[in-house]
Structure 1
Amino acid sequence: MDKLNLRLKLTRQRAAIPEQKRRENARRIRETLLDQPWVQMAGLVACYWSIGDEPETHGLVFALWKHGATVMLPVLRDDDDLDWAVYDGPDTLAPGRFGIMEPVDTRRGVETIRTAALVIVPALAVDRTSGVRLGRGGGSYDRALARVGPNVPTVALLHDDELIDGVPSEPHDQPVRWAVHPGGLVNLSTATPYR
C-alpha cells in the first residue's frame, strides 16, 4: 500500500477510537514511558503537543516537566522545518501556525534538537522491522530526526495496531529506535517488547 492510502486507512482507524479508549491509551503510554530509567534520567526532552486523534501527550509533557526535565516542543517554521522552544507549564503555550499549540519561549533554532537526551515524535504508524515511521507527509519530523545523534533514544507514540509490517519508505525517511503503544514499549533495534 502506498503512503497516501495507508495514511487514509490509519486516519479512519484513529477516528473510530472512542474517547474513553483514547484517554486510557494516553495513560498507559505515559505510564510505560515514565517507568523507563532512560526516560527518568533524560534532562532535556524534545516532545510534541498532540493534536486531534494523535496519542495524547499533554499529560506526558506535564509529567516530564514536573519531574524536572526541560521539555522542548516544536515550533513549525514557514519552511515546514521545526524550531524548538522550552515548555514552562500549560500557561506558556499559544496557538501557532495551523492553530497548533507552541511555547511562547524564545526560539532555540532547528539545531537545538541535537542537544536532547530523548526525542518523542508523532507517527501514524511505524514499521516493526525497520523502525521507519509514517508521518503526515510534511517531512518536518524526518528533518528533525536526521539531526539527532545515534545514541539518543527516539520514540514514536502509537495507538494499538499501528506498529505494522511494510511501511513504505523513501531515502529521506528517518527511523525511530522505539515505539510505545498501549500494549507496551518495543525496542525496534531488536524488534522485541521491552519491559
Structure 2
Amino acid sequence: MGKEMSGKIALRAELLGARRLLSPDDVSDAATVLARHALLLPELAEAGTVAAYVSVGREPGTHALLDALHARGTRVLLPVLLPDNDLDWGLYRGAGHLAPAGRGLLEPDGERLGPEAVVDADAVLLPGLAVDDLGMRLGRGGGSYDRVLARLAAAQADPALVVLLYANEVVARVPVEPHDHPVHAVVTPQGVRRFTGPSRPAGRA
C-alpha cells in the first residue's frame, strides 16, 4: 500500500470518528446553516441542473438544500448506486419520492437517466470527508465519484464542483493520488471558501 493511500485511510478514520461524536441536533443545526450558505452560491443560484446527493447519518445534511433547490425550479439529479459502484442518476421530485436503497442510502424512485446524465449538470455537489488548502477532496474511498469526475473530464464538461463539510474537515493537506481532482468551493457552517479553478478566482466569498 502506498504512502498516500495509507495516509487517506488514517485521515478517513480520524474524521469519521469525529463525525460519530456529533449529536442529532448538531447535524440538524449544521444542515440548516449549510443550506443557507450554499443557496447563496452563484454557481448554484444560476444553475439549471445540479447533481447532488442525499445525506445519510452524520454526513453534512443536504435535505434542506435539496428541497430549496427543487422549490426554486432547479433540476436536481440524485445518484443511484449501481452494483459495480458506478452511479446512475434520477430526478429529485421531493422527499416523498426517495426510496431506501442498499448501504443505508436513499435514492430517487423515478426514471433512471443513465450514468452520462451528470455531464449536463452546471454544478455537482460531491460528498466528502475533507478538503485541503488546495481544494483537494478526500472521499470515502468507494471510487464512485472518481468515476463521475472522470466522466465529466472525458465529456469536457466543466461544472462547478462543490463539497459540503463541517468546519474541522477543512484541513491543511489531503493525501493526493494521480486520479484526484480539485474542487472549486467548499461550504461549511462558517461560510464558503473558494479555490483556484478554470475561470474561477481564488479567494473567500
Same fold (TM over 0.5): yes
Q: Which residue of 2 aligns with 1:117?
A: 122
Q: Which residue of 1 aligns with 2:70?
A: 65
Residue 156 (structure 1) aligned with residue 156 (structure 2): no
The gaps in structure 1 that reach 5 residues or longer are none
**Contact 2:56–2:104 (8 Å) recurs in 1:** no
* Structure that is richer in helix per residue: 2
Aligned-pair CA distance for 1:174: 2.2
Secondary structure of 2:182 counterpart: coil
**Contact 2:130–2:174 (8 Å) recurs in 1:** yes
| Cα distance in 1, alignment partners of residues 22 and 180 from structure 2 | 27
Residue 92 (structure 1) aligned with residue 97 (structure 2): yes
1:143 maps to amino acid: R
Counterparts of residues 36-51 of structure 1 (less than 5 Å): 36-51=41-56
| Cα distance in 2, alignment partners of residues 105 and 73 from structure 1 | 11
1:146 aligns with one of 150, 153, 164: 150
Counterparts of residues 157-172 of structure 1 (less than 5 Å): 157-172=164-179
2:186 aligns with one of 179, 184, 191: 179
Secondary structure of 2:89 counterpart: strand
Secondary structure of 1:79 counterpart: coil
Let me know the Cα RMSD of the aligned residues: 1.5
The gaps in structure 2 that reach 5 residues or longer are 1-5
- How many equivalent pairs are there? 193
| Cα distance in 1, alignment partners of residues 96 and 27 from structure 2 | 24
1:14-69 Cα deviation digits (max 9, x unpaired): 11123322222111111011112331121111000001111010111011001100
| Cα distance in 2, alignment partners of residues 49 and 34 from structure 1 | 16
TM-score, with structure 1 as normaliser: 0.93
TM-score, with structure 2 as normaliser: 0.89
Displaced runs of 4+ in structure 1, greater than 3 A? none
Residue 193 (structure 1) aligned with residue 197 (structure 2): no
Aligned-pair CA distance for 1:165: 1.4
**Contact 2:119–2:157 (8 Å) recurs in 1:** no
1:117 maps to amino acid: D
| Cα distance in 2, alignment partners of residues 48 and 174 from structure 1 | 19
| Cα distance in 1, alignment partners of residues 162 and 143 from structure 2 | 17
Aligned-pair CA distance for 1:150: 5.4
| Cα distance in 2, alignment partners of residues 26 and 70 from structure 1 | 21
Q: 1:150 to 1:161 in 2, by over 3 A?
A: farther
**Contact 2:51–2:78 (8 Å) recurs in 1:** yes
Aligned-pair CA distance for 1:138: 0.5
Secondary structure of 1:56 counterpart: coil
1:76 aligns with one of 57, 76, 81: 81
